[in-house]
Structure 1
Amino acid sequence: MEDNLAQLTLRLETLVGELRGIPAEVERVDDSDQVRRLIAQAAASASELRAMHPVGSPEQGSQERRSRHDVLKELQRGLVMRTIVHASVLDDPRRAARIRELHASGDLHRVVDEPIQQVLVFDRSVAFVRITPVDYAPGGLVIRQQSLITSLIDLFERTWQRARDVTEPERRLSPREREVLALMAEGRSNSAVARALSITEAAVGKHVAGVFAKLDLPATADDNRRVLAVLAYLRGSAR
């Protein structure tokens, strides 16, 4: 997935670098306000929106309330919306509450842990992509070239399938928990993990308990939670 994203991002960046003038099917717009106006125009007539957001919106106060109002209005109009957000967005309780409200209202949200690019695709007719893959970078590409739109839709759908529902319990491991789990996957005991990380064995025990809790692995007589946690790590579902 990350390789596919990197390849697509490189393709888009190469395309931006080669632009001379304003081609008919890909337009570079450096004015962020103009990008927002074009997005609003597309939303007014579209029947479906696929969106990917790497971070939370920088909007505050009245701007954020207006954005929320606009989304709810489009949902009432009948716009079908699906949105993928990066898990870091949920670290802000206010944004997390807003996302869950929109999800309950019909703007279905899923969450991913891997890096994603900011993309909006309206129907199969127009897409908006940030010019550079940097948070809050100004401007964007307005894409009407069908081959690129098809690639973006394919990327979205494959990411959507891998993502988890925003209402699912939070399972993101802390950096230290990931280190502990990686050493557990090497077959090390808690004391060996403690020596490797220069922390106490009691601290390792707390991190292991945190891993079990976030992976929803209750203590039972039938299952070895340590083995199940390592299997989740090897499958890539423990992040």
Structure 2
Amino acid sequence: MSAKSELIKVLTNYRNAYEQVRAQIDQIRKNPDYTEEGKVNLIDPIVTNFVPSVDQARQAAAAVIQGALEALDSFGVVAGMTGGAHLRDAGYQAGLANVLHMLEIGALDADEVRRIAKEYEGDYAAIATMRKLCAGRGWAAAGIMDIFPKDTREHRRQVLLQLLRNIEQYINIAPLKSSGAVKAWNAANHGAPADIPKLLDGLVAFINNKLGDDLSMDE
């Protein structure tokens, strides 16, 4: 299962569970046969018993995003590179050093640079070095400089961090652990629990429509 599918599954399952708890609470609140104290006594254990599900969902969603964040800077197989080369492989590094040397002395023509840039796509450090070595050679007009992929890791990192912040906000009833359940429920949901499913629906739609299987976002 891809990171995208796993995250959507966690959020959707939590949303459905949240709706069920909210429905139970609303049913009790609207029942005129209960006193206010009676309603509290019935609602309190419902919300308290829901806390483990909240924690589990938040931790599971955060783990998926943290994995995507770690992958941004990890070494290993780079999907866009020919043969799935390993960045720390000695042979790969030797080949890269040779390519950079030929670029430095001007031994490669424009067509060769286009091919090489494609082969090293995904190795952000190598691409950045190639871009510097090719700058100022009059290739800009020919579109050569445009073939070097931009390093989008920082943009992707910010998207993932914002996603993590949203999840921590939407999947959070932490006050339940230290105060009365009913009051905490209202406080954690800003007095409007019905908004949480809508927020989660929007989050799932964003992930589904804007992010790739590895939670990457196209520029």
- Length-normalised TM-score, structure 1: 0.30
Larger relative strand fraction: 1
